[in-house]
Amino acid sequence: MRRTAAKGQARTLAAQAVREGFSTVVAAGGDGTANEVVNGIGDVPGGFATSRLGILPLGTVNVFARELGLPRTFPGVAKAIALGREQAIDLGKAEFYIDGKPESRYFLQLAGAGLDSRAIELVSWELKKKIGPLAYVWAGLRAIWEKQPVINVEAGDRVSGQLTLLGNGRYYGGSFAAFPTASLEDGLLDVCVIEQVDVLRIIQLAVGAVAGDFYRFCPARRLQSSSVKLSSVSRVLVQLDGENAGELPVTFSVLPKVLRVIAS
């Protein structure tokens, strides 16, 4: 067991574990921790071939663990890790620039630009610890009153909107099937583009999520592609697995079945 003391340290520790010959690296935390660990594995040449990823979901939402169907109890997930049933899945990759220098980062489950990435920027760590997922709701309510930037999307077709979500798997924000046709094994990213974001649209999305049909009450453009490009004339952050990583423009791609994970 190796404890993290700062943001980004899980990535360093995971890379170190791969170099030391560990064949399974378990991320104990939330989706952000899992993202750091998979990037650490990928930092080592041949890391995805020699080491696989395990998840001990201890975070606020744990979307990726839900996607894998992992048990919700500590004994249950510990047993799943011990059994070591392996699944090869696609891995998303985002390429962007930070201070003019090219950067790339992998993501497991989802990505987004617009209201959700702005809400992540506004969320309070202290409030998140007190009220859990509701902290994101509160931050989203703050963000929705701001002027929403327009995001240009290239994913086979060219469309634009104020909120763009990308899914490697089906779930977003919990057990909400925002990408009902998505699969971790199809070599594609599912894209949802919402043209206009306002209070009414968010209420429509919330009602649809509760009803079990994310798009029943909310019109949105849905696309599938192995390559997606996002750009904007405004400053727009991009989030990967629930943590902001950089700003647009961003190019997304898929590495088919490159990641070995322990599933239930």
Q: pLDDT tens digit string along 244-260?
A: 999 999 999 999 999 99
The gap from C-alpha 162 to its chain's centroid, in whole angstroms, comes to 18
Higher local confidence (pLDDT), 215 or 49: 49
Output 22-25 pairs: Cβ under 8 A, ≥24 positions apart.
22/51, 23/50, 23/51, 23/52, 24/51, 24/52, 24/53, 24/54, 24/81, 24/84, 24/262, 25/51, 25/52, 25/53, 25/54
Give CA–CA dist 252/12, Å, rounded: 23
Q: Which of 2, 43, 50 is nearest to 23 (CA)?
A: 50
Confidence of residue 186 (pLDDT cuts 50, 70, 90): very high
Q: Over the stretch 88-127, which tens digit does the pLDDT of each residue have?
A: 999 999 999 999 999 999 999 999 999 999 988 888 767 7
Band of residue 217 on the pLDDT scale cut at 50, 70, 90: confident
Q: Per-residue DSSP letters for the chain? A: -----STTHHHHHHHHHHHTT-SEEEEEESHHHHHHHHHHHHHSTTHHHH-EEEEEE-SSS-HHHHHHT--SSHHHHHHHHHHT-EEEEEEEEEEEEETTEEEEEEESSEEEESHHHHHHHH--HHHHHHHTTHHHHHHHHHHTTSPPPPEEEEESEEEEESEEEEESSS-BTTTB-SSTT--TTSS-EEEEEES--SHHHHHHHHHHHHHT-TTSSS--EEEEESEEEEE-SS--EEEETTEEEEES-EEEEEEEEEEEEE--
For the chain, list the domains and their CATH numbers. Answer: 9-90 (3.40.50.10330), 92-256 (2.60.200.40)
pTM to 2 decimal places: 0.92
Closest CA to 263 of 8, 23, 55, 47: 55
pLDDT of residue 168: 98
- Angle between helical axes of 9-19 and 31-43 (0-180°, round to 10): 40
pLDDT at 185: 97
Residue 256 CA to residue 89 CA, distance in Å, equals: 7
Q: What angle do CA 221, 225, 229 make, to 5 degrees?
A: 80
